[in-house]
Chains A and B, each alone.
Chain A
Amino acid sequence: IAGITQAPTSQILAAGRRMTLRCTQDMRHNAMYWYRQDLGLGLRLIHYSNTAGTTGKGEVPDGYSVSRANTDDFPLTLASAVPSQTSVYFCASSEREHNEQFFGPGTRLTVL
């Protein structure tokens, strides 16, 4: 079934630990995105990639890094997690950067 998947579904993490959130799509979309969603703030863009091999910073990139080694995968890494990074993280993809975005099911991350 074509779509976008994320792993893990949820995670509780101690502050200071390193964590990688995984995102994979099989729609051969060029563009991929990472958002965080916090109550009352809506979705905020963390990082994006318009095509494999390129990445860019979004609205709230500090404390996060991404890579785009191939078309399908777009992992998000928290080098040293802090409690303010507690959030729901959504990965999304689109055929081109101006097209509608398709969202993964999300990862609920709690940093203690």
Chain B
Amino acid sequence: GQNIDQPTEMTATEGAIVQINCTYQTSGFNGLFWYQQHAGEAPTFLSYNVLDGLEEKGRFSSFLSRSKGYSYLLLKELQMKDSASYLCAVCSNDYKLSFGAGTTVTVRA
């Protein structure tokens, strides 16, 4: 089975940086996904890491350490529209995704 932990809530100021951590214990690993979900909407894909290191995509970056069972999503130059839930999901050996409960990020002016 999978055990995926991420903080429930985070608050940051517009223009700031926020780092959302995700730790996982898994019986197999085929990559880690981050999704963004605005309230009342569907999740949308942000990033995918399968090798250790940092993947940068504009204002968003994602990091993975397989040996530590750890990932983070870094949101830079925060904008009001970044207020959303951020879901960490681990892909197991059978290629199924297990999701964390999500981190709700609130961006304040």
Number of residue pairs spanning A and B whose beta carbons lie under 8 angstroms apart: 43
On whether the beta carbons of A100 and B45 are closer than 8 Å, the reply is yes
On whether the beta carbons of A106 and B101 are closer than 8 Å, the reply is no
- Indicate whether A45 sits within 8 Å of B97 (C-beta atoms), given known contacts A98-B31, A98-B91, A100-B33: yes
- Over the window 22-54 of chain B, the binary record of Cβ atoms lying under 8 Å from chain A Cβ atoms (1 yes, 0 no) is 000000001101000000011111001000000
Contact A105 B42 (CB under 8 A): yes
Tell me the minimal C-beta distance from A17 to chain B in angstroms: 25
Beyond A98-B31, A98-B95, A100-B48, is A43–B42 a contact (Cβ under 8 Å)? no
Partner of B96, one of A40, A41, A45, A102: A45
Report which residue of B31, B41, B48, B97 has the largest number of chain A beta carbons within 10 angstroms of its beta carbon: B97
On whether A43 and B43 interact (CB within 8 A), knowing A98-B30, A100-B33, the answer reads: yes
**In the assembled complex, which residues on chain B have CB atoms less than 8 Å from the CB atom of A103?**
42-44
B side interface size, CB within 8 A: 20
- When chains A and B are docked, how far (Å) is the Cα of A35 from the Cα of B41? 14
**Complex-state Cα separation, A58 to B100, whole angstroms:** 16
Residue numbers of A with Cβ under 8 A of B are 35, 40-45, 48, 58-59, 90, 97-98, 100-106
Interface residues of B (CB under 8 A from A): 30-31, 33, 41-45, 48, 87, 89, 91, 95-102
Apart from A42-B101, A42-B102, A98-B31: 13 A-B pairs, beta carbons within 8 A:
A41-B101, A42-B99, A45-B97, A48-B96, A58-B96, A59-B98, A97-B96, A101-B45, A101-B97, A102-B45, A103-B43, A105-B41, A106-B42
